[in-house]
C-alpha cells in the first residue's frame, strides 16, 4: 500500500473546504511551508499528529488496512473475554477462600457450555 500523504492531506482540505492559509495557521506553519507538505510522500509522526488534530481526522488510519482493523477488533473482543474470565476467576478464588476459612468443602467449578 503506497500512500502519498501530502496528496491525501490536500484532498482532505478540499473535501473540508479549508483553504491553505487557514490550514497553515492551524498547524502553525507559513502558507509556503503548508504547500510543501502537499508535495511530500511521507511526513514525520509529530507533523501527522498536528495535521490530524487540525483537520479533525486521524490520518494514521490511512496506513491501516481493512484486514488490520478486523484483526484489531477480534483482539479487542478476545481481550474483553479474557477480562471477563479473570473476573470470574477472582470471584471463584474469593468464594473458595471464604469456604476454606469456614471449614466448608469447596464446590466444583461450573463448566462453560
Report pLDDT digits (tens) over 33-53: 999 999 999 999 999 999 999
Structure confidence at residue 16 (pLDDT)? 95
**10 Å Cβ neighbour count for 48?**
18
What residues does each domain of the chain span? 5-63, 64-113
- The whole-number average pLDDT for the span 11-31 is 96
- The whole-number average pLDDT for the span 73-87 is 75
Separation CA 67–CA 90 (nearest Å) = 35
C-alpha angle with apex 50: 46 to 51, nearest 5 degrees?
Answer: 115
Alpha helices by DSSP H, listed for the chain, are 5-15, 20-26, 31-39, 45-55, 66-102
Grade residue 6 by pLDDT with cuts at 50, 70 and 90. Answer: very high
| Domain at 5-63: CATH code | 1.10.260.40
Amino acid at each position: 500500500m503506497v500512500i502519498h500523504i501530502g496528496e491525501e492531506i490536500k484532498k482532505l482540505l478540499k473535501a473540508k473546504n479549508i483553504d491553505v492559509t487557514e490550514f497553515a495557521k492551524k498547524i502553525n506553519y507559513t502558507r509556503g511551508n503548508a504547500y510543501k507538505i502537499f508535495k511530500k510522500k511521507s511526513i514525520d509522526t509529530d507533523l501527522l499528529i498536528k495535521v490530524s488534530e487540525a483537520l479533525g481526522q486521524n490520518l494514521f488510519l490511512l496506513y491501516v488496512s481493512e484486514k488490520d482493523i478486523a484483526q484489531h477488533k477480534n483482539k479487542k473482543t478476545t481481550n474483553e473475554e479474557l477480562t471477563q474470565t479473570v473476573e470470574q476467576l477472582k470471584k471463584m478464588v474469593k468464594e473458595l477462600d471464604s469456604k476454606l476459612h469456614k471449614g466448608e468443602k469447596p464446590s466444583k467449578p461450573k463448566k462453560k457450555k
